[in-house]
Amino acid sequence: MRFCCKGCEFVADLISENGFEQFYDLKQGLAVAPVRSRPFEEHDFFWLASKVAEAEEKAAATGDGARLDLALEGISCVGCVWLVEKLFARHAGSIRAAASPSSGRLYLEWMPGKCELEPFLRELCQFGYVAAPAGAVSGDHERRRLAARMGLCGAFALNTMGFSVPVYLGMPADFEFAELFKLIAFLSATLSMLVGGGYFMDRAWRALRAGSLHIDLPIALGLAAAYAGSIAGWALGKEQLLYFDFVSIFVFLMLAGRYLQTAAVERNRRRLVRQQPVPEAVPRTDGGGAPVGRAEISPGLKFLLGPGQALPVSGLLAAGEADFSLEWIHGEADPVRYSAGARLPAGAILLSRTPAAVEASERWEDSLIAKLTAPGDGERGTPGLEKLLRVYLCIVLVAGMAALVFWGQRGDWLTGVQAMISVFVVSCPCALGVAIPLADDLAAAAMERLGVFTRTATLWPRLRRVRRVIFDKTGTLTLERPVLENPEAVAKLDDEAALALARMTHGSLHPIARSLLEALGTRGQKLLAVGDMPETQEFPGLGVAMNGWSLGKAGWSGEGPVAAAAEAAGSELRRNGELVAAFHFSESLRPGTIAMLRQLERRGLSLHLLSGDHPQKVASMALALGLPENRAHGGLSPLEKARAVKEMDRQDTLYLGDGANDSLAFDASFVTGTPVVDRSLLESKADFYTLGAGLEFLPRLLDTAAARANAVRTAFGFALLYNLTTVAFSSAGKMSPLLAAVLMPISSIVSILIIATIPLGRTKNKG
């Protein structure tokens, strides 16, 4: 069986060895999202002890089991739920585990003092799930609010219809409960307006105050007209103006469409729970006082930077030596060795296993990283939507007023008012308010099967405008870590050598060490599970040594900081100075990169390469990729990248990047995506991200956007025909409240069927 990554292969082996094959039966053929390197990473659960102590203290006071809510990365279906619950049940003292794919949450209940949670959470990591404090995930408040509103308005709609139907069925006006029925319908419609209608009116009003038009404006207009006309008709005793049932049904359907659209986006935003490498606070080197928040960092402050953390401000290495990655800053993937007194740039990521002492040289607000990690301008709008809404609203308003004037000139103002309200009511985009969110959801689901996840609701229409695709180089077109060219060297190691290699690479942040640990795969993890972990000694810039074993630069024997280590490429595993194995690495393109570029070119897209890497490396990469020399630029700073994107962008650029040095370019681009999520920075700003290792998804993403656009155009065509017909009936005074209440849900159902029958995500690649 072939796997997309070593992580998936490792998890598949674990599932088989533990007898959990039912996991795949419960998946029911759904694709499994790639787990990438999660099982091989060292995960820090420093926060867990305080959470457990607090939970067990509460349990002691109540006499119940201890309870804890966590965020869970990687959960996607009922198969995941089953697997997580099975794993927890195997631990002593466990009571119950309940995982939720929709909310990305994990609920645990256990017997206080009799259950160790950390081994369970580390076991989850082995299966590709990462737990974190619930507060580490951006909240899904919008979805929850919409769900609550939708539930209430559904009940109100049923209530309104229940007390309106007797009128349509011929209930006499003098029936003793007739007025009570109208009162109940009025109260139900009023509650629908307060709970659900207010949502659309508030958003429409805020958009108007900001000087823009929103799709919620025609919805709010139709609701206001129907509700106000119904109150007037009730007061005047004019049955033909009573639209209370329409108001309730319309509110419910619009909320359902909005919920569908919001749920998919927030589900993908909740998939990732890991923290930014930039620390929120740093401890002082003297250990005194509370940690210093990064906003309070000032020049001269001496603090400790933890392994894997990114330096929030520029500074000086106060003592010793350490290896840092500068990939966030200029895209160079190779680690850089620094000695005491050396100046460290903001954004340098510590690769050493022990904390480094740093003296700050600037304030946080003056740091380049502060600018790069600043949130963007929010979700980008869809071009042309305001113009379309402006034309649409003008037509609706003119048609409604024309109907009023026409009947008024004939002396029948009552029919004129009814015709005007009917025009406003039936011309609301009720069908599209449900159909477009459904198209978005189906398109997102199609891409999820390829490991691509959307984060913004306006991504799909913006993708249709893309004419230029801009790539970062290192970590975007290439894999994040170097590729082992001779994996057979790892496979041939005996158990003793493999164990030594696993121990020296375990917990290391060095890219070569991480590649070697993944190459060991299941074998390495099994060896690590046996026995204690001996102490290792790091030699920055050279390698690591342990009990006579060493792993480091070619020619280094592990006997100390030998400055004359050979300059040969690769790394070597040695025992007592004797060579055991040599490993050779290379920078490798992501799978399918060249084929993907050719497909994009055949679509007529302009391809560009912007990188902070050395210009000669970028030129060589462009030559290998078949890109024109004048479209590949290296040695760019983050500001220069952003400036280049701004010069190219005509609201038609797609930027694919991976590091902090791409953040400003993200802000300048029209559509953004990232193939890297384990450093937790750009995925919070990207329109989409991918968990797969390759880039072959990109043409399929554009295909899906095209299929979604076709579906929406078809639904628009139906909506246009529907609106022309219903507006004509309304203007003629033939649209009764009953007919409006019947036609509106029917039109929504037809629109849903139109969308559902178009094969989103299954179109053929045009390349």
CA angle centred on 340, ends 337 and 343, rounded to 5°: 70
Query: What is the rounded CA–CA span in Å between residue 121 and residue 53?
Result: 16
pLDDT, tens digit, 9 for 90 and up, residues 116-154:
999 999 999 888 888 888 764 444 567 778 888 999 999
Query: What is the rounded CA–CA span in Å between residue 191 and residue 183?
Result: 12
Tokens of 340: 């005491």
Query: What is the rounded CA–CA span in Å between residue 103 and residue 591?
Result: 32
Minimal CA–CA distance to 461: which of 713, 753, 673, 204? Answer: 713
Specify the pLDDT at position 583.
94
Whether the Cβ atoms of residue 250 and residue 201 lie closer than 8 Å to each other: no
pLDDT, tens digit, 9 for 90 and up, residues 676-703:
766 556 777 889 988 777 888 999 999 9
DSSP codes of every residue in 57-85: HHHHHHTS-EEEEEEEET--SHHHHHHHH
Minimal CA–CA distance to 420: which of 727, 201, 724? Answer: 727
Burial class (CB in 10 A: 0-12, 13-18, 19+), 46: exposed
> What is the sign, positive or negative, of the torsion defined by CA atoms of 220, 465, 693, 685?
negative
Whether the Cβ atoms of residue 490 and residue 518 lie closer than 8 Å to each other: no
Beta bridge partner(s), residue 98:
107
Specify the pLDDT at position 139.
45
Contacts of 674 (CB under 8 A, 6+ apart): 476, 656, 657, 658, 662, 682, 683, 686, 689, 690
Query: What is the rounded CA–CA span in Å between residue 487 and residue 490?
Result: 5
Query: What is the rounded CA–CA span in Å between residue 13 and residue 3?
Result: 11
Helix (H/G/I), strand (E/B), else coil: 610: strand
Specify the pLDDT at position 1.
55
pLDDT, tens digit, 9 for 90 and up, residues 621-679:
999 999 999 999 998 888 899 999 999 999 999 999 887 788 889 989 999 998 876 65
Query: What is the rounded CA–CA span in Å between residue 690 and residue 673?
Result: 8
Neighbour count for residue 256 (Cβ, 10 Å): 19
Query: Which residues in the chain come in under a pLDDT of 70?
Result: 1-7, 27-34, 36, 102, 135-141, 165-174, 213, 264-276, 329-334, 372-389, 428-433, 559-569, 677-681, 736-738, 740-741, 744, 760-767
Minimal CA–CA distance to 666: which of 687, 652, 648? Answer: 687
Domains of the chain: 6-137 (3.30.70.100), 142-269+380-439+705-756 (no CATH), 281-372 (2.70.150.10), 452-480+590-691 (3.40.50.1000), 483-586 (3.40.1110.10)
Q: Residue 517's Cα: distance from chain center in Å?
A: 28
State the helix-helix crossing angle for 141-168 and 244-269, rounded to 10 degrees.
Answer: 160
Q: Which residue has the tokens 């500068």?
A: 326
